[in-house]
Amino acid sequence: MLLFKNIKQLLQIRDKNVKYVKGKEMKELPSISNAFLLIEDGIIKDFGKMEDCPQNIDAEIIDAKGKMILPSWCDSHSHIVYAGNRESEFVDRINGLTYEQIKERGGGIVNSAKRLQETPEEELYQQSKIRVEEVIALGTGALEIKSGYGLTPDAELKMLRVIKKLNSELPITIKATFLGAHALLPEYNGDKDKYLNLLINEVLPIIKEENLADFIDIFCETGYFSVSDTEKILKAGEKYGLKPKIHVNQFTAIGGLQMGIKYKALSVDHLEVMRDEDIEALKNSDTMPVPLPGCSYFLSIPYAPARQMIDAGLPIALASDFNPGTTPSGNMNFVVSTACIKMKLTPNEAINAATINGAYAMGVNDKLGSISRGKIANIYVTKPISSVDFIPYSYGSNLIDTIVLNGKIIK
Q: CA 315, CA 401: separation in Å to the nearest integer? A: 30
Amino acid at 283: K
State the DSSP code for 185: -
Site string for ligand NIG, 50-89 (x = CB under 6 A): -----------------------------x----------
Residue span binding ligand NIG (CB under 6 A) among the ranges 7-15, 154-162, 272-280, 323-331: 323-331
Q: Is 256 in the site for ligand NIG (CB under 6 A)?
A: no
In angstroms, the Cα distances linking 270 to 32, 179, 245, 317, 319 are: 34, 15, 11, 11, 9
Task: Give whichever of 197 and 252 is closer to ligand NIG, judged by the CB atom.
Answer: 252
Question: What minimum distance in Å lies between the beta carbon of 106 and ligand NIG?
Answer: 13
Question: What minimum distance in Å lies between the beta carbon of 240 and ligand NIG?
Answer: 22
Question: What minimum distance in Å lies between the beta carbon of 113 and ligand NIG?
Answer: 9
Residues 237, 259 contacting (CB under 8 angstroms): no
Q: Which does 255 bind (CB under 5 to 8 A by kind): Fe ion, ligand NIG, none?
A: none
Residues 257, 298 contacting (CB under 8 angstroms): no
Q: Is 214 in the site for Fe ion (CB under 5 A)?
A: no
Question: What minimum distance in Å lies between the beta carbon of 283 and ligand NIG?
Answer: 25
Site string for ligand NIG, 230-249 (x = CB under 6 A): -----------------x--
Site for ligand NIG in 94-113 (CB under 6 A): 108-109, 112
CA 363 to chain CA centroid, nearest Å: 11
Q: Is 321 in the site for Fe ion (CB under 5 A)?
A: yes
Given candidates 250, 267, 352, 382, which one binds ligand NIG under the rule CB under 6 A?
A: 250
Residue span binding Fe ion (CB under 5 A) among the ranges 2-10, 49-57, 319-327, 337-345: 319-327
Task: Give whichever of 326 and 382 is closer to ligand NIG, judged by the CB atom.
Answer: 326
Q: Which does 326 bind (CB under 5 to 8 A by kind): Fe ion, ligand NIG, none?
A: ligand NIG
Q: CA 169, CA 7: separation in Å to the nearest integer? A: 31
Q: CA 334, CA 395: separation in Å to the nearest integer? A: 6
Q: Is 219 in the site for ligand NIG (CB under 6 A)?
A: yes
Reduce the DSSP state of residue 401 to 3 states and report it.
strand
Q: CA 352, CA 12: separation in Å to the nearest integer? A: 8
Q: Which does 369 bind (CB under 5 to 8 A by kind): Fe ion, ligand NIG, none?
A: none
Task: Give whichever of 151 and 403 is closer to ligand NIG, judged by the CB atom.
Answer: 151
State the DSSP code for 304: P
Residues 99, 299 contacting (CB under 8 angstroms): yes
353: left (phi over 0), alpha (psi -120 to 50) or beta: alpha
Please, what is the end-to-end C-alpha distance for the chain in angstroms? 17
Task: Give whichever of 156 and 321 is closer to Fe ion, judged by the CB atom.
Answer: 321
Q: Is 278 in the site for Fe ion (CB under 5 A)?
A: no
Q: Is 317 in the site for ligand NIG (CB under 6 A)?
A: no
Task: Give whichever of 20 and 82 is closer to ligand NIG, judged by the CB atom.
Answer: 82
- Non-local (6+) Cβ contacts of 297 within 8 A are 327, 338, 342
Q: Which does 109 bind (CB under 5 to 8 A by kind): ligand NIG, Fe ion, none?
A: ligand NIG
Question: What minimum distance in Å lies between the beta carbon of 96 and ligand NIG?
Answer: 18
Q: Is 295 in the site for ligand NIG (CB under 6 A)?
A: yes
Number of residues that bind ligand NIG (CB under 6 A): 13
* Among candidate residues 150, 91, 148, 79, the one with its CA nearest the CA of residue 119: 150
Q: In what order do the strands lie in the sheet with 173-181?
A: 73-75, 140-146, 173-181, 215-218, 243-248, 267-270, 288-291
Half-sphere exposure of 252 (CA within 13 A, CB side): 11
Nearest to ligand NIG by Cβ — which residue?
325
Site string for ligand NIG, 262-291 (x = CB under 6 A): ------------------------------
Q: CA 158, CA 54: separation in Å to the nearest integer? A: 49
Question: What minimum distance in Å lies between the beta carbon of 250 and ligand NIG?
Answer: 5
Reduce the DSSP state of residue 369 to 3 states and report it.
coil
Residue span binding ligand NIG (CB under 6 A) among the ranges 274-282, 316-324, 390-398, 401-409: 316-324
State the DSSP code for 66: T
Q: CA 91, CA 113: separation in Å to the nearest integer? A: 20
Q: CA 139, CA 393: separation in Å to the nearest integer? A: 17
Binding site for ligand NIG (CB under 6 A): 79, 108-109, 112, 219, 247, 250, 295, 321, 323-326
Binding site for Fe ion (CB under 5 A): 321
